[in-house]
Amino acid sequence: MNGKVLAQSHAIEKFLSRMFGLAGGDDWESAKIDELVFGVEDLVQKTSAWFKEEDEKKKVRNSLKRNLFRTDV
């Protein structure tokens, strides 16, 4: 914008949402919007392997190992 560069998708998303009046009417609405956006991002990250792995059994097994049986908590 005006010769300025903005990197990082979240920074760009927030910038555009404010510019076009989509960032919420108050701090609570803004937080709820972030909650939804980041929740969808978490879901996409956790399920993206399902679309990359060709072997269905491996796909399910790997996803379950990563997301349900965490040992690093």
Give the pLDDT confidence of 1-23 residue by residue, as tens digits.
Answer: 788 999 998 899 999 999 999 99
pLDDT at 72 over 70: no
Domain residue extents for the chain: 25-69
| Nearest-angstrom CA–CA distance, 55 and 46 | 17
State pTM to two decimals: 0.57
Q: How does DSSP classify residue 4?
A: -
